[in-house]
Amino acid sequence: MANSVARSARAQTLAPGLLERRAGEAVRRLEQCRLCPRACGARRLDGERGTCRVARRARVSAAFAHHGEERCLSGTRGSGTVFFEGCPLGCIFCQNFDTSRGTAGEELEARELARLFLELEELGCHNLNLVTPTHVVPQVLEALALAIREGFALPLVYNSGGYEALDTLRQLEGVVDVYMPDFKLWSPALAARLLGARDYPGTARAALREMHRQVGDLVLDAHGIAVRGLLVRHLVLPGHLEQSAAILAWIAGELGPATWVNVMGQYHPAGRVSRGAARWPELARRLSAREGRLALEMARNAGLQRLDGC
């Protein structure tokens, strides 16, 4: 019953004309951009580049069938991953710095982006996986409307750092099938230092609540592939296990023990840390195996029942 209700809601949202109207409303928000929590007000329709450094057209740094995502996304045929440049977060340790914070990507019109989505479907990918799409939601909706006219039908994965504006997320209700945020830090002071966003913890909590309200707990098909729901990532940072403890306890208590959580142990010095480690000495090393085990133990002790990673 739950799956049929989900399909019905998606069909209504994507009915002819409705998605186009929603895309048009989203594009108008680029007049004075408030798409992400930075709310910089850039006049992106006029070519102004705001905090994200992206104007009217989305900028794509890479797109391919990704076989290194979670098993429930990559499956056997890969997750059709599109990396957008201009992530609104400023993580000093960004693990995808070149793809999310670079400036060498290709600017695509809506029709070009739609063609890219269709090509990933033609490759046989299990889903369309949009990485750091917060600031290009209008462009994504425009492209989806065009792609769906040509038969596009892959589940949509929204893969972000968890730093989301609620108004933007609400434009995606009934469109996104799987939300996959990474809840990174609990402390506002630490978020200011490491992410450049003191408001990150509270903003991420509100975003995860909204995502869960829209799609519920993660649902897999008969082949173990995610079709709908929330999958939370948590990148464990060396020397900051107290952040992990607080986040994992909150997820279990607020979103429920059935929330699927990937406790990620692949941290390595990257981004600005890799070039200036002396400023952030606790992050100048890889996560130890012991820290990974402790983080996973924290998740179990918090009562979380669906765990992956470490």
3 pLDDT band, cuts 50/70/90, is very low
Q: State residue 100's pLDDT score.
A: 63
The pLDDT tens digits for 205-230 are 999 999 999 999 999 999 999 999 99
- For the record, the structure tokens of 20 come out as 């186009």
Distance CA 263, CA 290 (A): 13
Beta bridge partners of 107: 59
Q: State residue 97's pLDDT score.
A: 72
217 secondary structure, DSSP code: B
Q: State residue 291's pLDDT score.
A: 97
Q: Considering the chain, what is the average pLDDT of its residues? A: 93
Distance CA 250, CA 145 (A): 36
Could you tell me which residue, 53 or 310, shows the higher pLDDT? Answer: 53
Closest CA to 245 of 298, 291, 310: 298
The pLDDT tens digits for 186-200 are 999 999 999 999 999
Q: For the residues 240-260, what does the mean pLDDT come to?
A: 98
Walk me through the domains of the chain, giving residue ranges and CATH numbers: 2-309 (3.20.20.70)
3-state helix, strand, coil in the chain (%, to 5): 40, 15, 40
Closest CA to 250 of 192, 210, 290, 202: 202
Q: What is the pTM of this model?
A: 0.94
The pLDDT tens digits for 47-65 are 999 899 999 999 999 999 9
12 pLDDT band, cuts 50/70/90, is low
Distance CA 202, CA 163 (A): 9
- For the record, the structure tokens of 102 come out as 């670079």
Distance CA 137, CA 221 (A): 27
Distance CA 44, CA 57 (A): 9
Q: State residue 98's pLDDT score.
A: 72
Q: State residue 8's pLDDT score.
A: 45
The pLDDT tens digits for 101-159 are 666 789 999 999 999 999 999 999 999 999 999 999 999 999 999 999 999 999 999 99
97 three-state secondary structure: helix
Beta strand 58-66 with 79-84 is antiparallel
Count of residues in the chain:
310
Mean pLDDT lowest for which of 15-24, 36-45, 121-130?
15-24
